[in-house]
Chain A
Amino acid sequence: AQSVTQLGSHVSVSEGALVLLRCNYSSSVPPYLFWYVQYPNQGLQLLLKYTSAATLVKGINGFEAEFKKSETSFHLTKPSAHMSDAAEYFCAVSAKGGGSNYKLTFGKGTLLTVNP
């Protein structure tokens, strides 16, 4: 079974400050890991994904995440927050290997607020 824990349902930062959104996962097999962003009244947009290549993954809009197997973590970071980054962010895991359910298991989400 796989699960995702996002620490902090709400994170607030100042414009220009570091953004750090935390994600820890559990999976019985090596996982694929994803970060999605959801702007108000919109669908899910893929920010980045880890698929067992480089452990540091760069995504869109200046975001990146590092896969740390020893810590079972996949935290999302951005060096300098912009007002346009205000949205809800979801971490998700999908197990590689056998089975027919390519289920994405999502965390409960972290709402990012950016203050001017």
Chain B
Amino acid sequence: EAQVTQNPRYLITVTGKKLTVTCSQNMNHEYMSWYRQDPGLGLRQIYYSMNVEVTDKGDVPEGYKVSRKEKRNFPLILESPSPNQTSLYFCASSPRDRVGYTFGSGTRLTVV
């Protein structure tokens, strides 16, 4: 089954404790991206990657890092999480035609 898999689904952590949210897709998509969803703000792009070793900032990149060492994986790293990063996070991938976006099931992160 074609899918984007995120882990974990739920995470509660403390301020300053580094964490990684994993994202993996099995569709050989070139493009991958991370979004965060906050009430009243919709979804905003954090980072994106056009291919292996090619990443760039989205609209709200502060406090986040990403890497793209393999085509299928695009982890989101929070080196020092803060409470304002409490949010629902989605990973998405797409082929070059831009019309086949597939989203993961989401990761609900709470930073206390």
User: A residues engaging B (CB < 8 A)?
Assistant: 9, 32, 34, 36, 42-44, 46, 49, 51, 90, 92, 94, 96, 100-104, 106-109
Q: How far is the CA of A106 from the CA of B45 in the complex (A)?
A: 9
List A contacts of B50 (CB < 8 A): 100-102
Question: Is the Cβ of B48 less than 8 Å from the Cβ of A103?
Answer: yes
Q: How far is the CA of A49 from the CA of B100 in the complex (A)?
A: 9
Separation in Å of the A53 CB from the closest CB of chain B? 10
Q: State which of B20-28, B67-75, B78-86, B91-99 sits at the interface with chain A.
A: B91-99
The interface residues of chain B, by DSSP majority, are classed as strand
Which 3 A-B residue pairs are closest in the complex by CB-CB distance?
A108-B42, A43-B105, A106-B42
Residue of A nearest to B108 (CB): A41
List A contacts of B56 (CB < 8 A): 100-101
Known: A43-B105, A108-B42. Is A32-B98 also a contact (CB below 8 A)?
yes
Question: Is the Cβ of A106 less than 8 Å from the Cβ of B43?
Answer: yes
Within the complex, which residue of B41, B90, B92, B104 is in contact with A108, where a contact is CB–CB below 8 Å?
A: B41
B54-74 contact mask (Cβ, 8 Å, vs A): 1 or 0: 101010000000000000000
List B contacts of A106 (CB < 8 A): 35, 42-44
Number of interface residues of B (CB under 8 A): 24
Residue of A nearest to B29 (CB): A102
List B contacts of A51 (CB < 8 A): 99
Question: Is the Cβ of A32 less than 8 Å from the Cβ of B99?
Answer: yes
Q: How far is the CA of A106 from the CA of B59 in the complex (A)?
A: 12
What are 28 of the A-B contact pairs (CB < 8 Å)?
A9-B40, A32-B99, A34-B101, A42-B105, A42-B106, A43-B90, A43-B103, A43-B104, A44-B103, A46-B101, A90-B42, A90-B43, A94-B99, A100-B50, A100-B56, A101-B48, A101-B50, A101-B58, A102-B50, A102-B94, A102-B98, A102-B101, A103-B58, A104-B35, A106-B42, A106-B44, A108-B42, A109-B42
Q: How far is the CA of A51 from the CA of B97 in the complex (A)?
A: 10
